[in-house]
Structure formats: structure tokens, C-alpha cells
Structure 1
Amino acid sequence: MTTISPRISQAIETIGQDRTHGAGWLARDAANVLTHSLEDCPARTAAEFLSYLREVATALAQAQPSMAAVTNAVGAVVLAASQKAPSGLPAMRRAASAQGHQIVDSWDKASRRIVRHAERTLPRGAIMTHSYSATTFAVLERLASKG
């Protein structure tokens, strides 16, 4: 029996159907969805919580099976929670939430650093790319705004 709420199921489906964004974007979104799924988690025990997390994490990983970054991101959230199992359910919830937020924040910070670095190092003029990753787009957008 599935315990994933319709709201989270829809978010997972959206990630699965995304053919526009790159692995980094999708991993960030997957970590965000898994973190938000904690609000809907009906678990009353540590075992139920881990089961729920694994169910949602597996669904997210299977939504984009070729994107290892998605699997790694949701796996890190599950691992953080499982390491706190001896401390009980509240500690597991806090650890999962903190890890999910940390993943989202680190992707955002890395993207900003890459944009700043590219801004300093790429020459002005025409740039051609075959990439449509969120980071590449952010770099090109920043460079275009500077003329």
C-alpha cells in the first residue's frame, strides 16, 4: 500500500516528465520534493519513517533513472535519517529535513559560484553551447545582461 500523498506523487511525476532540465536541477528538485514529503509522512515509528522515506526516494530515483545525481541526492537524505535511527523519530525527521535543505542550498550556491567564475573568465562576444543546463543558462543570461 502506498503512503505517498497525491501532492507528492504529482511532484514526482513532474520530475519524471522533465526533459528540459539537467541532472543538477533535477537532483535539487528531488531533494526538495523529498524534504516537503516529510510534511505528509504518517509515520509514528522510526521503522515506518524509514520505510516512507525509502518509498518516496525510490519513486524519485525511478522517475529519472539515468540521472545518478537524483539517486545520490535522495539517497543522502535517507542515509542522514537512518543514521539517526538510534536517537528516535524526531531526530530522524530533523536529520532528513536538514540534509534535504543542505542539498538544495549547496546546489544553489554552486550554481552562483559557477556563474561568477564564468563572468570573470569568459570572453565577451558570441558563445556557442550545446548545453541547456540550468547553470549554463544562468551563465549566458548573466553575460547577456552585462552586454
Structure 2
Amino acid sequence: MKDLVGRINSIREDRTHGAGELSRRALEILREAAQENRSPTTAGFLEEMGVICRELIAARPSMAIIASSVGRFRRRLTEYAGREKDIESLRTFAVRAAAEIMEEISSAKGQAVTAAAGLFADGTRMVTCSYSSTILQVLEQAAREKRFPVTVLESRFGAYSYGEITACRLREKGINCRVIPDDRAREAVAEADLILVGADAVLPDGSLVNGYPTLELATAAAERHPRVPFYAVCESLKFHPRGAITLEEGFQLIPSWMIKGIICEEGIIDPGRVAEYSAGPAAT
């Protein structure tokens, strides 16, 4: 496959797109790699695809959906290879499997978005931080019927202000919002009715991995009396099946007790029930 290493490195180095978008790129790489693979044997095909799977998973260890979606692809490929030995049939199946998993992710995301949009009423004062394409879709869908103010923490890390990126995308959709400095998280929470953030991973104990300054926002929400409801919105493929995860620079771990609920395609679930919806073991 042309420039395979470069394309995987582009996922590894990307700091402006969310986990869901990068998982789609990972599956596109697998789909194209399957199309272009010219191994004459099933064993060779599986070995080469397995190497690519491992490299994709290692590229972004904090983003569980990459490991889960790539793992789902590899399991289906291995199961099919156990039934069908013809290399051309296996290649065709691999291409189709990658496309089907992309559709499954899109469908699950759409259901989670609809569930989260249902939390809004006219005038709901909402706060978010970091960058999440899922949260952008939630706000776009909710804004079709409701009018509400949106506050975004600047979410500055390194050379990027992820809050400004979020605000720019919202304004493109005609949604007004304000961006405030990260050190004003408590002020934003004091005026909020609802906090929604995306997720890069959700661990089996219900704790959340997301970009800075999600922990500061969650802490401020937890300190309010009464507490401001804090939700994460994501597909269940972001539920990490293992109890430990490597945190990349700029990512934070938010304990489950700070989170009111995880909104996924199954609806709003208690963080304590995350393990029931785990996507299964990642590919290795």
C-alpha cells in the first residue's frame, strides 16, 4: 500500500481531529490495504493485515475506539478465514468488513447524538471543553428546535486552542457560543445547567479519558451544590475493555464518581454499568 507508514504516522501525529474521526481513517487504511494486498495465501494475507492492525492500535493508545474498531475488524477477518480459504473471497470480505464497521460506528454515534440532544430545552445553559465532533453534532441537532447559550472552555494545550476550533465549527453551523479561559471553569459551571463532553475512552469502572481541561471542568461541576450534571457522549466502541490505558500527553482521567452518565447508542447508562457494554478485547 502506497505510503502506509506515512498514513499511520498521520494518525499518530494528528492533534486536531477527534477519536471517532481518526478511527474512521484507520478503517479506511485497512480497507485500502486489503484491496491492494497481493499475498497469494490466506496465511500471508492475515499476517500482513495483522501487522497493520497492531500499528494502528499502537498509534493512539488513549483512543479506545481505534483499538476497538480495528479489533472488531481483525476478529471478523480471522473468523471468516476459518470458514473460507479462498484468498480472493477473503480479500473481498476484508474490504466489506471495514466499510460495514464504519457504518456501524456512524449509526451508533447518531443514536448517541439523538439521546444527548434530548437533554436540551429552550434556554439550557450548556458548557463543554476540548474538541469533539460528537458534541458538535449534538449541539447542531439540538439547535434545530431549541435556543440555548453555549460556553466553551478555551482548552489550550500546546499550540492549539481546541475550544476555539470547536467555536469556529459551531459558528459555521450558525450556533452562537462564547469561549472563555480555562481558569474560569468554576465561573462557567456556576452558571450552567448541563455539561457535555466527548470521550476518547471510557474504562470498565466508568472513568473517562478525554482532553484537557476535562478534569478541571468535572471537578468544578462536582463541587457545586447541587451538582451540575456532567455527561460524556460517545459510541460504546469507546468503552475500553481493559482496566488500564496509556494516557497520551494532553489527555486526562476523570473518575467515574464525577460523571452522572455516559450517553451512548444504548441511551444514558450509569458509569457503573460500562463493563456490561464493553466491545471486547482489542486486537493484539
Q: Where on the TM-score scale, by shorter chain, does this alignment land: which range?
A: 0.7 to 0.9
Measured in 1, the distance between the counterparts of 2:63 and 2:114 equals 26
**1:1-147 paired onto structure 2 within 5 Å:** 4-6=1-3, 8-86=4-82, 87-88=84-85, 89-125=87-123, 126-144=125-143, 146=145, 147=147
C-alpha contact 2:35 2:91 (8 A) present in aligned 1: no
CA contact (8 A) 2:35 2:95 kept: no
Identity of aligned residues (%): 29
Q: How many residues align?
A: 143
Structure 1, unmatched stretches of 5+, are: none
**Quick check: 51-60 or 83-92, which moved more?**
83-92
State the distance in 1 between where 2:108 and 2:68 align: 17
On the 8 A contact 1:34/1:100 being kept in 2, the answer is yes
> Once the two structures are superposed, what CA deviation does each residue of 1:66-115 show, in whole Å capped at 9, x if it has no partner?
22321221122222222222412123223322221121001111222223
Judge conservation of contact 2:35–2:92 (CA < 8 Å) in 1: no
Q: Distance in 2 between matches of 1:44 and 1:75?
A: 24
Structure 1 position 44, deviation (Å)? 1.2
CA contact (8 A) 2:80 2:90 kept: yes
Higher strand share: 2
C-alpha distance in structure 2 between counterparts of 1:39 and 1:92, whole Å: 10
RCO comparison, higher one (Cα < 8 Å, 6+)? 1
Aligned residues of 2:57 and 2:67 also touching (Cα < 8 A):
yes
Instruction: List runs of 5+ in structure 2 lacking aligned partners.
Output: 148-284
Quick one: which amino acid aligns to residue 5 of structure 1? K
Q: Which has the larger radius of gyration?
A: 2
Partners of 2:81 and 2:116 in 1: CA distance:
42
**TM-score between the two structures when normalised by the length of structure 2:** 0.46
1:127 partner amino acid: M
Give the deviation of 1:54 after TM superposition: 0.9
Tell me the residue number matched to 2:199: none
Report the CA distance shift for 1:5/1:17 in structure 2 as closer, same or farther (over 3 A). Answer: same
8 Å contact 1:38–1:93 — kept in the other structure? yes
- TM-score using structure 1 length: 0.82
What is the Cα-based RMSD across aligned positions, in Å?
2.1
**Deviations along 1:40-77, whole A, 9 cap, x unmatched?**
21211101101110121112112112223212211222
